[in-house]
């Protein structure tokens, strides 16, 4: 990847919300902006494996109203806030099919285990090895 495009490819980290199975976790997101930003929405993917009804663990796709209904006056702070709120308040009725039939207790247990395993604040994340891997324009 050419260095001129690195400006359009960002990494962000979010601390898991308190009183959720994501508490004490550090979650890595990647955001890729086109030269047409802000008219065109950025591509946003969760890079930390996360057990959540609105995050596809196969590709990191985040099912979020804010991201899917992009307006050019939205901003990066709004993206991060939307993902943080989604971690805090999952949208169970609008979940990915893998999540159907999972009760709240099972969700909390599995999400807590994955957070401990993959989102520990001491996790190592190799940013350079993740660039342009797995990106899809159909997010």
Distance of CA 99 to the CA centre of its chain: 17
Q: Which residues contact 31 (CB under 8 A, 6 or more apart)?
A: 9, 10, 11, 12, 42, 43, 44, 76, 79
Among 56, 59, 58, 62, residue whose Cα is nearest residue 14: 62
C-alpha distances (whole Å) from 82 to each of 6, 35, 46, 90, 126 are 24, 23, 13, 11, 25
Distance of CA 48 to the CA centre of its chain: 8
Catalytic annotation on 95?
Answer: no
Q: Which of 12, 63, 80, 82 is catalytic?
A: 63
User: Which residues are tagged catalytic?
Assistant: 63
């Amino acid at each position: 990847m050419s260095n001129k495009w690195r400006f359009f490819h960002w990494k962000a980290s979010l601390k898991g919300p308190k009183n959720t199975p994501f508490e004490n976790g550090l979650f890595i997101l990647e955001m890729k902006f086109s030269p047409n930003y802000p008219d065109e929405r950025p591509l946003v993917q969760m890079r930390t494996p996360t057990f959540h009804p609105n995050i596809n663990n196969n590709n990191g796709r985040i099912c979020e109203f804010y991201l899917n209904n992009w307006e050019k006056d939205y901003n990066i702070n709004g993206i991060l806030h939307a993902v943080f709120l989604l971690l805090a308040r999952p949208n169970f009725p609008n979940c990915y099919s893998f999540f159907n039939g999972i009760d709240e207790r099972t969700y909390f247990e599995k999400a807590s285990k994955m957070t401990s395993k993959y989102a520990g604040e001491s996790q190592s994340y190799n940013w350079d090895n993740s660039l342009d891997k797995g990106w899809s324009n159909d997010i």
